[in-house]
Structures are given as C-alpha cells and as structure tokens.
Amino acid sequence: MIQVKPLVIGDLVAKVPLIQGGMGVGVSLSSLAGAVAAEGGIGVISTAQIGYREPDFDTDPIGANLRAIKTEIQKARRIAKEGILGVNIMVATRRYEDYVKAAVEAGIDLIISGAGLPMDLPKLVGAAKTKLAPIVSSVKSVQVIMRYWWKKYSRLPDAVVIEGPLAGGHLGFLKEQLEDIEGLHYDDEVRAIIEQVGATAAEHETDIPVIMAGGVYTRDDMEHYLEMGAAGVQMATRFVTTYECDADDAYKQTYIDAEKEDIVIVQSPVGMPGRAILNPFMKRAKEGRIPHGKCHLCVSTCTPDKTPYCITDALVNAAKGKTEDALLFCGANAYRATKLEHVKDIMDEFRP
C-alpha cells in the first residue's frame, strides 16, 4: 500500500493531500471550502459570478463579484480558522486582473487558475505570499507556462494542477477527444507532465508538487495517481453531494438521481466543450436559442448577441435549485452519488 503524505506547497502544509475543486456558479463558496479546509484539506472558492446573490448583481456584476470575493473568503476563514484556502479564477474571466487582486488583498493562500493559460499571474500577485497553481492538460501547456514565468518574472509555479478529461464543467480537450477518452491514454500524458515539472523543479533546486484532477472520487483513485508521482489530488464532484456544499439541495439531488448515461458532453455557449447532466434545459438549448436578458459580463469568450443561451443565467439557476432551467455541470462520476454525505466523512476516507 502506498504511503499517503501531507501535501506541501511552499510553506503551506495540508494534512490531507486533497484539494476541493472550485465549482461555479455558487457551488463551492465559503461553506464547502471552509469545511474542507477545517478538515485538513485545501478548500477552494470559485470566483465565477461569485456575487450572484448580491442585490446589485444585475446592475453591477463585476462590483458585486469583487465585493463577494472578500466576503466569502472572510466567511470561510471563520469556519476553517487555520485551514488552507484557495480560489479558482478562470483566465477567461472578464477583468481577470481585478479578481486576482481582490483575492490577494483578502489574504487568500492559493490561486488556482485555468480556462486559458495564466501567463501574467505572477505580475498580478507581485510580492504577496499567495501561492500560484496553473491548471494544465498537456505537457506543452505546462512547458509554456514555466518557461514564460521564469523568463519574464523569475518565478515558477508553486504547484501544478493537471485537469484530465473526466473532469466536470469546461474542459481543455477537443470534443472528438472526449468521445474516445480511452484512446487518449491520458495516464501517459500525466506521467509526462509530472516528469517535466519534476525536471524543471530539480533544475531550479525547488519542489513543485503536481496535483491530479478529473475523475477522482475515492481513495483508490487518489492512490493510483500518488503511485504515478502526483503529490495530491483535486476532487470536486463528490463534494457536491455534501450537506456543506453551497448549492441548493435540488441541485445536489440531480447528481443522486443521475444515471451514467445521463452524463453527456455539451457545447458550452462560451465556446468550450463541457460535461453536464442531460436535462430539459439542455434539450431545449439543442433545439434553438433561449432568450436572455442583460449580459452579466462573465467570460471574454462569450458573444452575448450570438450565444444560444446565457451561461450565467443557466448556472445561477442550478445553484438556486431551478434545475429544469439550468446547466448542470458535473464530473464523469456524478452518477456514483447515492446520498448526501458530510465533508468530514469524505476527508476521513482520504487521510494519511
């Protein structure tokens, strides 16, 4: 049996080598992230439209989101006390720089950033103690980031998150690749990324832990990747069906009710393939454009007057429990959920 060790990212030490993946909109906020951090993992707040419950969200979405970043981090800190907290900020987010700066000012421990390559993240964070972890899906992308960061900022990532093809939400793969996941032989790519990151770290006499995400659901999954050389795992889907998850119970119930064949690859209106539960809303979206109101300035890849539906509206509906009119993002293993669990029980399964 493989020895499970704490996850060390610079001066941050997570007793359980498990990061809770960031889930927007409103799925992983202070309640879930705080609970995971309090149990020795790394709790992650998603900044995607984080201010959707603010009274001025419809009129000033950016302002509402930036304000909510601080509020949610503070609330999670009260839950987690000395725990480790991170935020997930998508590179494609409009005004990305402001979201990063707001998280740093609020004293966040770790920024995890994907949905694009976070090329200038070190510049935005500056001399702050905040640790940086880009999300990658290929050797090429991690090479590009590490070379650029070192050349331009004399900095390397503090950790690297690999997001595989079984993850939920938007995915960094072509639709054709997702139709033949076995044919990707993705474990080979994972080994190559770990090797590349390890070589770069050794060259600079430092340590850069690699964390595997996408399809992690049990301790066996974690141990599989630890044996391959990962320092830890990131898991999101399983945390949705917890009492502490910030989403409405009706959203959690869609996971519990889902069968394997209900989980499909969809084309997101912002131009990327994603994984979600097939529901009446997605069927309507396939048939034609769903009218929407004012743009909520979510991501730069969206063209409001051409989008088939508003992804913010669809994801806010999910978080609020209006599941018939929602985009129900999920990981490939969502169908395995059969009941609600407490975060503590899940964390106990993954402890060293």
> Taking 70 as the threshold, does the pLDDT of residue 288 lie above it?
no
Query: What is the pLDDT at residue 286?
Result: 76
The position carrying tokens 């990658």 is 136
Identity of residue 109: D
The number of residues in the chain equals 352
222 against 173, higher pLDDT: 222
266 vs 124, higher pLDDT = 124
Q: Which residues contact 219 (CB under 8 A, 6 or more apart)?
A: 349, 350
What's residue 284's pLDDT? 83
Strands 328-329 and 273-277: what pairing? antiparallel
The mean pLDDT of 69-95, rounded to a whole number, is 95
Helices (H) and strands (E) in the chain, counts: 14, 14
Mean pLDDT (whole number) for 295-311? 65
pLDDT for res 312: 78
Q: Residue 231 has what pLDDT?
A: 98
Return the pLDDT at 282.
85
Confidence band for 76, pLDDT divided at 50, 70 and 90: very high
Per the rule left: phi > 0, alpha: psi between -120 and 50, beta: everything else, 228 is alpha
